[in-house]
Structure 1
Amino acid sequence: MDTLLLLIISVSLLPDLTQGQGNTREKERHNKTSIIPRTFRGQTFPVQLPLPPNTTEIMEHSSSGASEVGLRLQSNSTFLYLRGALSTRVIPSIYIITVIVGIPANAAILVLVGAKLRTVSSAIFYCSLATSDLLLLLSLILKMHYHFSGNNWKFGEVACRLVTACFYGNLYCSAHTLACISMKRYLAVVHPFFYKSLPKRSCTAWASLAVWVVFSIAMVPELMLRQSFSVPQLGVTTCHDVLPIDLSYDFLVYYNIGLTLLGFLLPLLVTTACYTSIVWQLNRSHHDWSLYIKASTLVFFIFVICFGPSSFIHFLHYVQLYSSGAENFYAYFNIAVCLCCLHSCLDPFLFMMMSRTAGSKLYFMTRKGKTLSIST
């Protein structure tokens, strides 16, 4: 009789055990395949507010009185980054230098170049570049406060979405505007007669407008998805640094891969091709273009140094996520993005250098013996 009773109990518990194992496998599969690029990953759970100060333990799952979504960190590297000196001291210190130098310099460019919009076609590109750089630098002010506060966002969800979209959108916008400037110089040097026949002001205006429209649309997902989450393990609320492993965020894999290719890699390839052709063409000339060649080479190398690492590290970040699920490359990506921000404060000085070079106006001999002058 006892044996029969034990058998009945075992059979009744078997479906529950099987279902529990199935749920565990499903969670493991979901955690492995749901990847959020460009950020750390976390598991969502409801938390009660207010959080106790300096919380160091994970809060237990509770549905009663929960008023905010919390995230459990998935790796020790995430904890070390969010608590380490790299994110709380080094990165915001770089931002301070960038803001102090970049905001006055770009504002001065807008004042000086803005008066020439109707007469100089290049002024449209430079005003567009200065505007995107200024918006990027202004977003760094709130990001500095966030990092110095121990990666604790205190300005609300709406401000987090706006700052994230403004930061990355204007980062990509600056890179593409610089690529447009390099294409304009390429046409002026390598194809001067074709360049002379172009309606330059309308071409530059439409190109600038297209860049702004494309990346304004590209930032819509950043504005639609929640970006700030409570991390009770650290007692902070992160902004964009940690996103949940959730089906609604899975499309960010393809979205961020597309942004990496379009926002970083494409302008990098275009700028490399343009400046290589410019230097090669001027070296073939019988005139002395050494000053212009040096200036163009310097502009090109600064662009590659500032934007190249972010493209490369972002690509490695994806490879590591897909191969092993590790996410520690995100910290290196944030350092590489600091180099992109440095370019925002260097742009005004590079513009002044290029405009003052002896080769800023190029001269070509036409077939009829007349001189053709082109300003780049």
Structure 2
Amino acid sequence: MQPLALWPLLLGLSLAGDTQTLSTYDEGGGVEGTVGPSARPTERRLDRTVGPRAYPGHPRANDSGTLDLPASSQELLLGWVPTRLVPALYGLALAVGLPANGLALWVLATQMPRLPSTVLLMNLAAADLLLGLALPPRLIYHLRGQRWPFGEAACRLATATLYGHMYGSVLLLGAISLDRYLALARPLRARALRGHRLAAGLCATSWLAAATLATPLALQPQTFRLGDTGRVLCLDALPLAAQAAHWRPAFACLAVLGCFLPLLAMALSHGATLRALAASGQRCRHARRLTALVLASALAFFAPSNVLLLLHYSDPSPGAWGDLYAAYVPSLALSTLNSCVDPFVYYYASAEFRDKVRARLGRRPPGSGQPGSPGPATRSSSGL
């Protein structure tokens, strides 16, 4: 089953994946400038027109499934960063994110009151969990020295699910911040607006937006042989014409709509919530610390990769950004580590939630925590 298609189980919606194969609180992705021996003069002109994007490929005249790269790009593509650092980051996201989010989802679904905030947190945990499940193919690819063994259809699916689940997490973070703003800064209005219907609507909108933004990533060929090396790349080298015509608008929409707008919504919502708490005379030192942690982690994990992505496709002039893609690959892997941070910010920061986890693991009988200790639907919501 496709990982991105698992979310309808929560919302009653459906998503069909592309399988085409290429023949080659409630309250509480030679020499420099040269191409392969079979490259045509028109391709050289295209290189001067479009400019050196990160790992731009020149299809051979008699083999469109093979791309020739400059020597400097090949060195970056096969260096220690993509073959050692990147898989280490993916491995860390797997080792921490899978158990942390899996346990959080289990406790939220079985032990916590089914409040609107719980529904939102369950969807966030599911998105982070599914992101972890989408990482193994990329991890294997990088550990094999940039050799994709699974075929064209699997490459397209791996790309769409990786980006879809990651940006789905960002959109859900924005939805959670909006819900908490209503609960804490507009409590009277929240009585009429907040509820399971609004929570389900925010979740459905986030999942649908993520699926819509990720779908174009599965519509173009992505596996190409790297010159005469025998390596089959997945997404890391693409024809210049396809980069300008298809990938630039697709990734621009993904970065702006899937990252920067949710981050802006988070900043505005949390800022307004803190102002409302301060104006009401409530002590919000704990709230400020948690808000700073949430915003700082979101910016640190998501902003670098998306800024690099926009710069990468922004200027077609020769030499504008050089081999900027070499920096984008590790920054994309860094973005997946946010799935490791979310559980400890939104769930495990709650004393009641930790008590529930201990109870489910048999370390402490249920209800043995401090009386009245707030859970993720109370203290966390107030703090964030």
TM-score (norm 2): 0.76
Match of 1:175 among 170, 176, 189: 170
Question: Does structure 1 conserve the Cα–Cα contact (< 8 Å) formed by 2:83 and 2:143?
Answer: yes
Higher relative contact order (CA 8 A, sep 6+): 2
Q: Residues 228 and 27 from structure 1, CA distance in 2 versus in 1: closer, same or farther, beyond 3 angstroms?
A: closer
Alpha carbons 1:310, 1:333 under 8 Å: kept: yes
Q: Which residue does 1:41 correspond to in 2?
A: 56
Distance 1:142 1:300, change over 3 A: same
**Whole-Å Cα distance in 2 between the matches of residues 97 and 269 of structure 1?**
28
Aligned residue among 41, 46, 57 for 1:30? 46
CA contact (8 A) 1:295 1:354 kept: no
Asked whether the 8 Å contact 1:153–1:238 carries over to 2, the reply is yes
Stretch of structure 1 that moved more, 324-333 or 147-156: 324-333
Structure 2 gap segments, 5+ residues each:
1-39, 352-372
Q: Deviations over 1:160-203 (max 9, x none)?
A: 11110000111111100001111111222221211122242111
Report if the CA contact (8 A) 2:164-2:211 is conserved: yes
Of 67, 72, 83, the residue aligned with 1:71 is 67
Q: 1:129 aligns with which of 113, 118, 124?
A: 124
Deviation at 1:111, TM superposition (A): 0.7
Q: Secondary structure, in 3 states, of the residue corresponding to 2:115?
A: coil
Structure 1 counterpart of 2:238, from 243, 247, 252: 243
Q: Partner residue of 1:313?
A: 308
Which of 217, 242, 257 pairs up with 1:262? Answer: 257
Residue in 1 aligned with 2:7? none
User: In the superposition, relative to structure 1, how do residues 167 and 146 fare at CA in structure 2: closer, same or farther (>3 Å)?
Assistant: same
Aligned residue in 2 for 1:193: 188
Deviation at 1:283, TM superposition (A): 2.8
Corresponding position: 1:111 with 2:113: no
Following superposition, the deviation at residue 296 of structure 1 comes to 2.1
1:1-376 correspondence runs (5 A): 24=41, 26-34=42-50, 40-45=55-60, 63=62, 69-73=65-69, 75-115=70-110, 119-246=114-241, 250-322=245-317, 324=319, 326-353=321-348, 355-356=350-351, 361=378
Residue aligned with 1:250, SS: helix
Structure 2: distance between partners of 1:171 and 1:28:
36
Tell me by how many angstroms 1:310 deviates.
1.9
Partners of 1:113 and 1:133 in 2: CA distance: 14
Aligned Cα RMSD in Å? 2.8
**Offset of residue 31 of structure 1:** 2.8
Q: Secondary structure at the match of 1:238?
A: strand
The one-letter amino acid paired with 1:234 is T
The equivalent residue for 2:27 is: none
Query: For residue 69 of structure 1, what is the amino acid of its counterpart?
Result: G
SS of residue paired to 2:336: helix
Count of residues in correspondence between the two structures: 322
Contact 2:98/2:129 (8 A) holds in 1: yes
Verify the 8 A CA contact 1:231 1:237 in the aligned structure 2: yes
The 1-side partners of 2:126 and 2:49 are apart by 39
Cα distance in 2, alignment partners of residues 247 and 297 from structure 1: 40
Measured in 2, the distance between the counterparts of 1:150 and 1:108 equals 33
Change (3 A) 1:167 1:323: same
Deviation track 1:67-86 (CA, whole Å, cap 9, x = no partner) reads: x710011x344212221100
Structure 1 residues 254-276: Cα deviation after superposition (integer angstroms, max 9, x where no partner): 22211111111111111111122
Q: Distance in 2 between matches of 1:96 and 1:242?
A: 23
Gaps of 5+ in 1: 1-22, 46-60, 363-372
Question: Which amino acid is the alignment partner of residue 235 of structure 1?
Answer: G
Letter in 2 for 1:330: Y
Please say if residues 99 and 140 of structure 1, whose CA atoms lie closer than 8 Å, have aligned partners that are also in contact: yes
* 1:201-222 Cα deviation digits (max 9, x unpaired): 1111111112212221222222
| Pairwise CA distance, 1:334 | 1.9
Distance 1:342 1:29, change over 3 A: same
3-state SS of the aligned residue for 1:43? strand
Higher-helix-fraction structure: 1
- Deviation for aligned residue 1:325: 5.1
Please state whether the residue corresponding to 1:229 is helix, strand or coil. strand
Give aligned-pair identity as a percent.
29
Any idea what the Cα deviations from partners look like across 1:73-112, whole Å, max 9, x if unmatched?
1x34421222110000011011111101110111111111
The separation in 2 between residues aligned to 1:223 and 1:319, in whole angstroms, is 22
Deviation, 1:286, is: 1.8
Distance 1:294 1:375 in 2: 8
Separation (CA, whole Å) in 1 of partners of 2:325 and 2:115? 42
Shift of residue 297 of structure 1? 2.0
Task: Write out per-residue CA displacement over residues 129-179 of structure 1, whole angstroms, 9 at most, x where no aligned residue.
Answer: 122212211121111111111111011111111110000111111100001
Using the TM superposition, give the Cα deviation of residue 324 of structure 1 relative to its aligned residue in structure 2, in angstroms. Answer: 3.1
Q: Which has the larger radius of gyration?
A: 1
